[in-house]
Structure 1
Amino acid sequence: MQFKDLQLNKPILKAIAAKGYETPTPVQEKTIPLVLEKKDIIASAQTGTGKTAAFALPILQLLFDKQDAGKRAKKIRALVVSPTRELALQIEESFKSYGKFSNLRTTVIYGGTSIEPQKDILKKGVDILVATPGRLLDLHKQDCIHLNLIEVLVLDEADLMLDMGFIDDVKKIERLCPKAKQTLLFSATMPPKIAELANSILKNPETVDTTPSTSAAKTIVQKLYYVPKQKKMELCLYLLRNTLKGNILIFRRTKFGIAKLEKTLKKNNYNVASIHGDKTQKDREASLNKFKDGTVNILIATDVAARGIDINNLDAVINFDIPNVSETYVHRIGRTGRAGNTGNAFSFCSADEKNYITNIQKLINTIIPVEENHPYPLDPKAKPQIHKTPGKSKHKKGRKSEASKKKKKRWY
């Protein structure tokens, strides 16, 4: 199937051709006709499957007939709610490039940056709004956003919005839109709370399931390194010196872990940038742009910061810390080996992460090949480290030191 078979109009087809796309991905092929038929949709699609175009193209087509309203007369008719600023910016960029031969206006609003310029853009009138939940509700409270004319509502990366604690905000936003709207919900996984949300807000939805989240792309070469926890840093440096080339994304669990790794790599003269939730929006964008334009070739990130970020030509992913949620492993490694290219995924597993690997292998139904030929092997008999609970004394309860006994005043 080609894009021209999907009933898209000439200006949109021209924009797609300008981007060099010819054939739609499975999620686009299944979703676009349903959106054009104005159906509600629950789509289970992983990042990297082309899902932004799956909703952006048909939305542009649906709004096309009313595009010539004067700028001030433009009202928000499509709303895309996105969990992170980076993802929101990417979605806005997609709408702008697919709609460049139309008069439809798209803008993006998100927190962590000045609210005034966003108010000015909204005053000028927009057709399509991409927003993070918090800033959207702030602007609505200030009477700068009206959602009473929304025709299409898109909830993107719904499971991540749940993880980030936005689910109540999302419900509030949905209630502010008209009842008669079309709703499209995209989620990489379907936890019970997301299924519950979908049931409560969607009307007779069609289900699109293109990529089972339990499989890892065939184009990714996976390798597992068993390594003592305290030797992971050395193993990382060893692989960077001897094996890894090109653009590399490294996942760590905490911002403290990111800072430690970044400092070590910089000390060893590597070009590194990092992103995590505590960085300002400006810093996160700067890091991402440096990675995209090749100023740095290593990006260290937490899962929340990196979810949904589209990076072309990523050569390898390193799981410095093994994720405790098995699906997260699939999302992480799915950032490489995209669009038919091959990629590499290296995972560093210490003794206390072995259970996570067992669960991941069950989920992806694959045994990850173990690489034994490296200088820091883990002793197979190594036991997981037991972390003592702080504040517990090794002394028996009620035991007093000699000094305290001497100080005690006697009553006799």
Structure 2
Amino acid sequence: MPFTQFNFNKNILDALEKNNYLKPTLIQEKVIPLILQKKDVKAKAQTGSGKSAAFVLPILKTLSDDYQKGKPKIKVLVLVPTRELALQVSQSFKTFSEFYSKKPELVTFIGGLSLGDQLHEVQKGCEILVSTAGRLLDILSKKQINLSFVEFFVLDEADKMLDMGFEKELDLILNELPKERQNLMFSASYSNKMLALIPKITEEYISIDVTDEILIPSSITQRVIEVNENKRSALLKHLLKTNKWDLVLVFIKSRRAADNIAFKFRELGFEAESFHGDLEQEERIFTLEEFKAKKIRILFATDIAARGLHIDDIECIVNYDLPRASADYIHRVGRTARASKKGEAISFIDYESMEHFELIKKRCKLEITHESIEGFELTGVIKEKVKGQEAIKGKRKSKKDKLREAALKAKKD
């Protein structure tokens, strides 16, 4: 089924063709007609399913059809949980409007950059505003932007925003929006908390769920390699030298570990960098641009920092550390094989993590045969669990206890 079925103008169709978008994904096929019909939508789709384009394309078409002369007013507000996702969504708007002679004015609000400069951009004229919720509240408090002309209110990765305290911020933002608007919500999951908030946003909507489809496309080759924890670094070096991938995204469990291993691989001669929440905003943007330009070939990233990364040329992702949740596995794997390309996803496991990975396999409906690489075979034995052993409440110190002890120690010092 081609994109021409949606009656997109030639400018959009040319941009789709240039970026190798050959046919709509399932979420795009279901959602785009509803948005064009001006329906409110609650869409549930996994990362990598093409959900950003599912709202970007029909919004661009509508703005083009309803083009008005004069200073642009904010007609589209897109809220996202992270700075990286804000930049990626903004890039989608730019990509698909490339061939417009009169491009829609777009402004991205993110922390870490000058608030005054961002406000100045809006005041010059803005049709599309992409923002993190926290940054938008900072600017709303200054009473210097007008959201009363918003026609599209988009929540991307809505559940993740809720995890970051969005519940308290939602009412403040909704008070600034007109009652008559189109509401579009996209997320890989909807918690009961999120479902309870939806009536505040819209009373009538169409629910679309494509998560029951194949979770991971066949264009991604999944591998599970058994290796001892202390040999993972050497195995990764071996795989990188053997496969000659252009861009590799390696998931690491902590910021400190990401910094350490990136340093180690630079010492080994690899073009490597770390990517996590402790980096300054300018540094994060610079690192991403260098990665896209293939000046950095290996990016060691934490889950939160990598959320929302949409880089078409990542050939391989490596789960150096396994994700905690099955949903995070889907998210990580979805960073490769984008835009109709093929990709590879490799997970390192040892005896300690086997049981956890079996749970991920079950929940994600995976069928993957474990393998070993010569010279890096898993050694040792499986530790037997003592049956009936239960965790003893109060044996481990709580977070409050640790903070209290740290405060007392600081006073003594």
Matched residue, 2:279? 279
Distance in structure 2 (CA, Å) of the matches to 1:362 and 1:164:
28
CA contact (8 A) 2:153 2:183 kept: yes
The answer to whether 1:101 aligns with 2:101 is yes
* One-letter amino acid of the counterpart of residue 319, structure 2: N
Paired residue for 2:406? none
What percent identity do the matched residue pairs reach?
Answer: 38
Distance verdict in 2 for CA 1:229–1:17, change over 3 Å: closer
Matches within 5 A, 1:161-200: 161-200=161-200
1:91-120 deviation line (CA, Å, top 9, x unaligned): 222223333334532211111111111111
Partners of 2:105 and 2:127 within 8 A in 1: yes
Q: Which residue of 2 aligns with 1:405?
A: none
Structure 1: distance between partners of 2:366 and 2:146: 49
- Corresponding residue of 2:74: 76
Q: How far did residue 242 of structure 1 move?
A: 3.1
3-state DSSP of counterpart to 1:318: strand
- Contact 2:315–2:337, Cα closer than 8 Å, also in 1: yes
Q: Which residue of 2 aligns with 1:399?
A: none
Q: Is the 8 A contact 1:249 1:316 kept in 2?
A: yes
Structure 1 Cα separation of the partners of residues 45 and 325 of structure 2 = 18
* TM-score when normalising by structure 1: 0.86
Aligned partners of 2:227 and 2:372 also within 8 Å: no
Cα 1:384–1:108 change in 2 (3 A) is: farther
* Matched positions, count: 388
* TM superposition shift of 1:240: 2.2
Distance 1:115 1:171 in 2: 22
1:121 and 2:121 correspond: yes
State the structure with more CA Rg.
Answer: 1
1:403 alignment partner in structure 2: none
Instruction: Show CA shifts across 1:326-362 (max 9, x none).
Output: 1111111121123333221111123332232021111
Worse overlay, 205-214 or 154-163 = 205-214
| Residue in 2 that maps onto 1:59 | 59
Corresponding residue SS for 1:351: coil
Name the structure 1 match of 2:306. Answer: 306
Following TM superposition, by how much is the alpha carbon of 1:382 offset from its aligned partner in structure 2, in angstroms? 3.5
Q: Does the aligned pair in 2 maintain the 1:219–1:343 contact within 8 Å?
A: yes
How far apart are 1:141 and its partner, in Å? Answer: 0.6
Shift of 1:325: 0.6
Structure 2 vs 1, CA of residues 139 and 227 (structure 1 numbering), >3 Å: closer, same or farther? same
Question: Can you list the C-alpha shifts for 1:60-110, whole angstroms capped at 9, x where unaligned?
Answer: 233335433312xx2211100112222212222222333333453221111
Query: What does the per-residue CA deviation read over 1:305-333, in whole Å, with 9 as the maximum and x for residues that have no partner?
Result: 11121111221110011111111111111
- Aligned partner of 2:138 in structure 1 is 138
Q: Label 1:355 to 1:195 Cα distance change in 2 as closer, same or farther (>3 A).
A: farther
Whether 1:236 aligns to 2:236 is: yes
Matched-pair contact (CA < 8 Å) for 2:46–2:215: no
Check the 8 A contact 1:318/1:346 in 2, yes or no. yes
Secondary structure at the aligned position of 1:308 is classed as coil
In structure 1, give the amino acid aligned to 2:107.
T
The gaps in structure 2 that reach 5 residues or longer are 386-394, 399-413
Q: Partner residue of 1:266?
A: 266
- In the alignment, the residues of structure 2 paired with residue 176 and residue 88 of structure 1 have an alpha-carbon distance, to the nearest angstrom, of 20
Partner Cα separation in structure 1 for residue 159 and residue 384 of structure 2: 31
Tell me, what secondary structure is at the counterpart of 2:207? strand
**1:2-401 map, 5 Å:** 2-71=2-71, 74-99=72-97, 100-212=100-212, 215-243=215-243, 245-379=245-379, 381-383=381-383
Deviations along 1:115-139, one digit per CA (max 9) or x if unpaired, are 1111111111211111111111111
Equivalents in 2 of 1:242, 1:377: separation in Å? 17
Q: Secondary structure at the match of 1:222?
A: strand
TM-superposition CA deviations, 1:37-67 (whole Å, max 9, x none): 1111111122332222211121123333543
Gaps (5+ residues) in structure 1? 392-412
Kept in 2: contact 1:67–1:102 (CA 8 A): no
Other structure's SS at 2:253 match: coil
Structure 1 residues 224, 15: CA separation in 2 closer, same or farther (over 3 Å shift)?
closer
